[in-house]
Structure formats: structure tokens, C-alpha cells
Chain A
């Protein structure tokens, strides 16, 4: 199965090209929060998308849609255009939409709830926008698609899982093409929630650094067009990369803490390698979950060593969350977009803000500057609250 289109809306680029240029330049998108008044929170920074290029939507459409809907539609439009699919000639029942979601348009629903709590009349039009399946339905609606629709809600691994579901749906013959990925935006709930757990760094996050103090929250839409390989080749599609396989497992350890031994994460990586049919020696790059919380980065390092053995020490591992923040339910998708571009372009994006080596994180994290590398097979890790772990594997086309 192959990837024939990519779309990205992030704090450092509202199109794939701009995103990639800034990613490889090491541009940081973490800035003061502007979407709501953050002055009473413990921290005040996040990786926000500054302006959503949604001019092609009518004013009425924009009014009905949440911020997450609009970002998702923009990224899907870019991905579909890149794929070269002529939807007017396709069977709409064979094209599906499978996304990951969670926070979604909660920001709107929070406004409704705040007014309701204050005893004021609240406009109902966008009250249900936070239900994450809305974006999936809207993308299908926008392009008149009639195939499988599904939304995975496994918190921070949602959109990675969605790609896995898309892969299984195409492999089993349920669909020919699936628009997959996710769109998730900043909201008071997640911002306040991670702050309440003291998991947010007041400064831009520093993955794998000894002085790391937590994550930076981000928002993004990342959309990928998955297509059955033979069909894509027949129509001369611009194949970006191959989706080789994925692993999805349960830590069964703790609701918020990762297994520090790395055994749980190691199981997910091994499941992904088995699904992709590659051994550890063939992995050339890891796009890490790398949230910059003290617990995640050391547990993830241990998991990489557990599953990849000596290979883990010989390959680049980087966290683009240092630039675009932790985009929560969209992080798996936007990081998959970056992983596909890494495979396609032969450039590894850096982990920025990296200064102090940590003995518990002793791999090559590509500090502060991008690097040329011959990446034939790459994997991307996503770990979530609940111990929902997913690893996806891409290969050069």
C-alpha cells in the first residue's frame, strides 16, 4: 500500500512544502497562546496555527465548521490535489475517510459551556463540534465520498491508529482509497489538563534533553491519501512512500505513565516490524514520540533499545515536537507526514532545543540541525494516555 498525497497545516507551515522547509531549517513554532486568554494558566506558550488558508470555503461553511474541521479540510484538499485523483471518475463507495480525533473542535464547545455555566443563552450551532467524528463526516461530505468512515479516539495515538485501520481496510478490500490522518486543535481542556499534571514546559519543549521539563502543546492537521499499490501504479499516481505496516498494542500498565523498562513500547515496535515484514537492521530512522516529559523520553529510549537492539544506537532518532509541539490526536498523522518526507527527500529533521545529554537518553537525537541520510525504511512512534501504543512503518517507494 502506498501514500499518494500529503497535506499539512501546522504552526510552522500551512502547506507541506513550507512545513518541510521549516522543519529541516529547525524553525520553532512554539509561541505565546492567542486562541484564548492563557494568563491564568501555569504556562502561556503553544504551537498555534496562525491563519488557516480556507478561502475556498464559503462563509456559510466556515460558520458551521470548527477550527479543527477547517484545518482538516484544508489539509485534505492539499493531499487530494497532490494525489492527482480525479474524484469525478472514481466510485465514491470505494473511497473512505478514517481519521484520528479527540479534542477536535472542543474550543467552540467550551465557549458554549462557559456561557451555559454563567446562566447565559448559548448558541447551539457548534455545541457538538467537539465530537471528533464531525471532521470525518465533513471530509466525506465535502468530497461526496460514500465509503467507510471511522474515527479512532485513542488520545495521542489516535491518528496513528487511524492510519493502521486505513491500511487494514484497504488490505482487506473494504476500500481502494482512504483519506487518513487527523486534525486536532488547542483547547482549554487539554491546555489546562496537561498544566494541572505539571507536564507542560513554560519554555519551548526540549525532547531528550537532561533538563527537559515537559511538553509544549501544539495543533495541526496532517492528512495522507492511502491507496492500494497496484492501482496507484496503474494510474501513474505520484507515489510518495510505501506504508509497510503497523503495530498496535496495549501497555496494560498505567493510565498516564509509560512502562519505564521500555518493555511495553518494545512490544509495539516489534509488532510493527512484524507487520511490515522488516527486521530491526532495516530501520534507518525513527520519528520519535519524544514529548519531552521526563518519563516518556527515557521510556521511549529504553523501548527503542529493547526492540531494535544495537541498531538503535546507529540510527538517527528525532522529535519534531520540539518545533510543532505535541499535536495530541493529530500528532501521529503530522509526524507520519514528516516521516514520509524524510524517506522521500533523504533528509532527517532535527530535535531542536537540545543542549544537555541525559544518561537515560543516550541515542543520536539529531541535535539542532537537519542531516542528509539514506533513509529507506523509517518508523514513527505514538504513545497515549491509557497505554495505547502505535508504531507505523514507511518505506521508500
Chain B
């Protein structure tokens, strides 16, 4: 039985970089809302304000306040220029100012601790974090009104998030941030305006008992809607007991609150059957987020989302999956999205493989001449992913029952397992066990 989901399942996409705006514009009918991180808002206010208006979707601003409590190195510039101590990134410095963060002098030198807040400074902090979300984009438009069209400036008054989010810090179950997080929720409620919260916890340290206690405390909050972020939870590699712990936490919280997964893939979508009311993810990447982000690493490789295994595969494995398939087989067993259908129409499976594996040679300063996927391949694979994710949400939320859906998912996975390897589908068995509402 599903618990307390009210209304339609909400599908949010988190904008990672401005380069992704193109995907979101094209995929506009495929999702409900936009999630923006405050550091991206702060870095490019005007561009995001115009984009949010043009897109015309509801949006939320994640205040990313937890970042101030992390290793201060993560707040510093990643510039490669030699420097005894890299300066604090301008965006986080500006956010600290906007939020009226206490102990700003220590920014980038040591992490923020709960001891730096008293009742007054915490109330000021919460107030400014909420106001930031409701006013920052609008103010960018006002400052640039002379350079914008009247249509854009006229829409500026509507440029507020669906629900501002109370500040939050990642709970590591030590008790360090728990009271501050609860106080943030309480103050946000007392301030009178609408607000939502974030339940962020270090999943590596979670146990069934500690999660139970955490959820119990959030259930006492007066706020009605929460996003949930189990940090470092990789749906594909997390063992079943840990997934089940997360699923049980979602189910219990959803009994009384509206809960949206802040970072989630297909497993999170399956949690619809445990009461989850929505999911947010990035464009192709971003169905998980570690507490401490990995810096650098270059451009991620182009990958193909294979719905049968609910995961991406290396482009080089696509011929293995497609071996011997007719065009109709491909549509039925692999994908019939608008992108794949178009590629098939232009020359069948052979053409699809040729177009999705197209590469070009580029000069790399470190590695000489390297072969990389063309920009078009990235565009095709990401649009294909967004179309598939939309289809999956529909597939799950319109399924007659979890058991019927599970059977269909397993059949598809077994077909793919035969083509690829058994390890490609192990995660699906874990998901189905963990998400089963029975």
C-alpha cells in the first residue's frame, strides 16, 4: 500500500551548469520544476532570472547552507595558480554575506559549527536565507531592467520559488547539528511565510535505529513539505539493507509530510510506492550527491541510458546490446524514444550505432591527441535520458501494482543481463526488495 502521497508525482531537474539550459528548454514538457543551487544563483543571477522566466516552470532554490559546515578547503577557489592559500570562492563569500552568516571572518579557514549561533543570530540567519530565495533573482532583474525586454521585467514579480527552503546542515547522527536544524525549521515556520525543509543525513553513518530517531524528530516539525538527501547514497552500489533503511525512512516521513528526493534515480522513483511525492536529478548525471564533492575530473564520458537495466552503459557497450536486433526489436527491447526513433528512421540500428558512437579528435594539453565523443553525441544521449526518465515516471506512477511493475522490470533486466553480464542488473533486485511496500 502506498502511504500518504497527495497529488501528482513531482519531477524536478537540477541545473548543474548553464550549458544544461539547452536541454531543459527542449525537455520543458517532460518535467515539473527546476532546482537551482544558491551558489549557481549567486554566480549568475541575471542569466538565471531570465532563464527561469523564459522556462516558466516552478522552481526552488537550494540554499546549500550545509556547505559552510564542510571542510573549508571546499569553499576555496580551485584555481591552478600557485598561492599559499587559495581565496574563498566569491559565490560562497557573497552567500555568507547575504545569509548574515555568523563568524564570516573564519570562512574558508574553519568549518561553521552550531556553537556560533545563538537564538538571535540563528533567527537572523534563517530569515535572510529565506528572503534570499524569494528576492535574489527578482532583484537581479531590477538591477538590469534597462537591458531587458519589457516582457521579462514584467514577469519579474512572479520570480519567487514555489516554496523557500529553510537552512539545513547535514546530520551525521552525532547530534551536533540536529538541534540547530530543528530550530531552523521552527524559526522558518514562526516567520509566518510558507517554507519547506531538507532532511539531509550522512547515509554512510545511518543505521535503522538512528534513521528512525531522525525521522521521529522531523515529524515533530510544523513544516509540511521536505526534501530528503541521503548523502553518498549511490542507488546502484548501495547494499539492500541500506536502501531499505532509506525506503523505510521515506515511508514513515511520507505518512505525515510531503517528501521529495533531492537527488534520486530510478530507485527513488520506485519509492513512489512508499509515499515519495517527487524526485529531483540532474541532466544525465546527478542522481546522487556526495557530502564532499569530487573536484575536477574533466568532462564525463558520454553514456547511453539503457532502460532495461535502469542505468547508463558505456557507449562502446551499445553494439553489444543491439547485436542482431531489427529496428522493431530495438524499439521494443531497448528504446523507442523520440531520439532513438529518429536515428532508426535515418538508417536503422546501424545508423543509430554510428551516430551515437561518433567521435572526433581533439588536442589535450595533458594527453596529446585524444578521441572524444562529438558534442552531438552528448546532446543525443542526454535528451534520450530525459525522455526515458519521463517515461519511467509515468510507467511507475501509472502501474497497476508494485508486483506487476516489478515483474515487468525484472523481465527487461533479465534480457539485458543475458546481453551484458549478471552484475549489470544486481542493483535491480536490491531496489525491488527495498522498495516493496508489502
A, B co-complexed = no
Chain B interface residues toward A at CB < 8 A? none
